[in-house]
Amino acid sequence: MELYDTVRLLVDLPDEGLTAGAVGAVVHVFERPDVAYEVEFTDADGRTVAQVPLTADQLEPLASGG
């Protein structure tokens, strides 16, 4: 996964108000200490509802066009 990729959450994150299936965008890629992805999730109006660091096993990349 790369910066600005669209991804689908594969796990529930109740503390963040997110459920599996939520769609977000990669806004930062961490290389150290392990590869991880900062993903921003927005509501229907484009307002950020959560921005969380996640590992690759928690995400599914979506094909272009969503």
What is the model's pLDDT at position 34?
Answer: 87
Domains, the chain, with CATH or none: 6-61 (2.30.30)
The pLDDT-based confidence of 66 (bands split at 50, 70, 90) is very low
**Mind listing the pLDDT tens digit for each residue in 31-55?**
988 899 999 999 999 999 999 999 9
Residue 7 has pLDDT above 50, yes or no: yes
Share of the chain above pLDDT 70, in %: 95
Q: Are 37 and 30 in contact (CB under 8 A)?
A: yes
- Longest Cα–Cα distance of the chain, Å, equals 34
Give 25's strand partners: 6, 40
**Mind listing the pLDDT tens digit for each residue in 16-33?**
999 999 999 999 999 988
DSSP one-letter string for the chain: --TT-EEEE-S-BGGGTB-TT-EEEEEEEE-SSS-EEEEEEE-TTS-EEEEEEE-GGGEEEPPTT-
